[in-house]
Amino acid sequence: MPRSTHAASKRWRISSTKRLTRTASLRSIAVIFVMFVFFHIGLDMNGQAAEVEDRVQKIGKDAIAAKGMAREGKFLVVPIPVSNPTLGVGLTLAGIYLHPTKTAAAGSPTSTSGVGVMATSNESYLVGVFHDGYYFNDFMRLRLAGGYGELHLKYYGMGNDSPLQDNPLAFNAKSTLVTPRLLFELPVDNLYIGLDYRYIGIENFLDASDLTIDLPEFSFYTGSAGFGLVGVYDSRDSNIWPAAGSWLEVTVANYGGHFFGDYHYNKGGIKFTQYHHMTDQVVFVYRLDGQFLDGEPPFWDLAQINLRGFPFGRYIDKKSVTAQAEIRWQMFNKWIITAFSGGGRVADSLNDIDSSPTHWAGGAGVRYNIGGDHHLNVGIDVTYADDQAGVYFQIGDWLGK
């Protein structure tokens, strides 16, 4: 694969004095970020009781909460149109079961199971199953997911100025995915720790005919497998459509042949989302993401910008950071209007993050509650990024994934 960004990085070297200054700046930003996250968690732990109490009182107006009844199980068949810059247009047919819960109070998580089938106009297809379970009064959390399909994607190269940005390579990926995760709650409220395994096997078909007539389409099989630790802090009032609380997830994983993979690398990630009630009808949400890799990962598992509006793999490298915010207005009983915006950066090293260009995206959307008191929402987002508009159909809370 072209590695032009590495050559470009060499041409952009600066003096050692500036590098030290920039490293110090980066470390200061990192310290401020960590202090910011834990400061807000501290505020959240101190103020969550009052906020949740207000939410429970509001939910108490509903007949279910007022009578202290449990949420009943609910099975939904949801046809979800697909329209995005990566896969084109198509349809996903999903069967989702919302498991019954013992209480309808705020903060009581809902276990979900489902199966889905997707097909799109660029001949991509996918079949998948999942289960997201909460057991023993939320002491144990189990997530299982698996799938198989063929995705027709594009490789835009690494970094911000790859020559493939305007002329990407087409590649098809026949993929197999298995991702189990098991978490247990610690003696500290809302804090969980556990293990995570991920295996992705891909048969790649690359078409470089747009670059040269002398290189025909070729294929190769690769697999990536990793095992790691996961730490989660979760004080959200719902795992399906939150309106208050915080969610912090930190992962550290090692990938290699000892886990049945072909690549040797390390991958770390951090996700932090916080939900604030501005009024009874308006919720403000913001999210911070970071992905950090070292070693020799496959191009399809590199760090990337996590924003609606960019095709999969549009900006990838070994390091990425993303920040975004969203406003949600419950206009009617089951209808919600959203507006969102954010920016992200990618770089080969942490030292280069602060000098990398910021890639912006934004948009607006609408949601409709099909899950009743489980508050499962489906809807549509219209986005704008890189001077191009896009349309995404959503189910659930995109910022809580």
Per-domain boundaries in the chain: 4-400
Write out pLDDT tens, residues 97-123. 999 987 655 567 999 999 999 999 999
Residues 104, 59 contacting (CB under 8 angstroms): yes
CA distance 226 to 233: 22
Model confidence at 49: pLDDT above 80 = no
CA distance 93 to 84: 16
pLDDT at 170: 87
Residue 84: helix, strand or coil by DSSP? strand
Residues 374, 71 contacting (CB under 8 angstroms): yes
Distances (CA, A) of 318 to 39, 144, 278, 345: 28, 27, 37, 11
**Other Cβ atoms closer than 10 A to 191:** 15
Write out pLDDT tens, residues 169-218. 888 999 999 999 999 999 999 999 999 999 999 988 876 666 554 545 55
Minimum mean pLDDT among 99-113, 174-188, 266-280, 311-325: which range? Answer: 99-113
Average pLDDT over residues 382-391: 92
β-pair type (74-84, 88-98): antiparallel
pLDDT at 14: 37
pLDDT at 204: 81
Model confidence at 266: pLDDT above 90 = yes
Model confidence at 164: pLDDT above 80 = yes
Q: What is the CATH number of domain 4-400?
A: 2.40.160.50
Q: What is the residue-averaged pLDDT of the chain?
A: 83
Average pLDDT over residues 71-77: 89
Q: In sequence order, which residues have a C-beta less than 8 Å from that of residue 120 and are 6 or more positions away?
A: 82, 87, 88, 89, 90, 91
Q: Which amino acid is at 144?
A: L
CA distance 181 to 369: 28
pLDDT at 209: 61
- Reported as a pLDDT band with limits 50, 70 and 90, residue 372 is confident
pLDDT at 42: 43
CA distance 275 to 285: 5
Q: DSSP code of 335?
A: E
CA distance 241 to 263: 36
Residue recorded with tokens 């202090």: 35
Q: Of 135, 50, 94, whose CA–CA distance to 376 is shortest?
A: 94
pLDDT at 220: 74
Stated pTM of the model: 0.79
Model confidence at 47: pLDDT above 50 = no
- Reported as a pLDDT band with limits 50, 70 and 90, residue 366 is very high
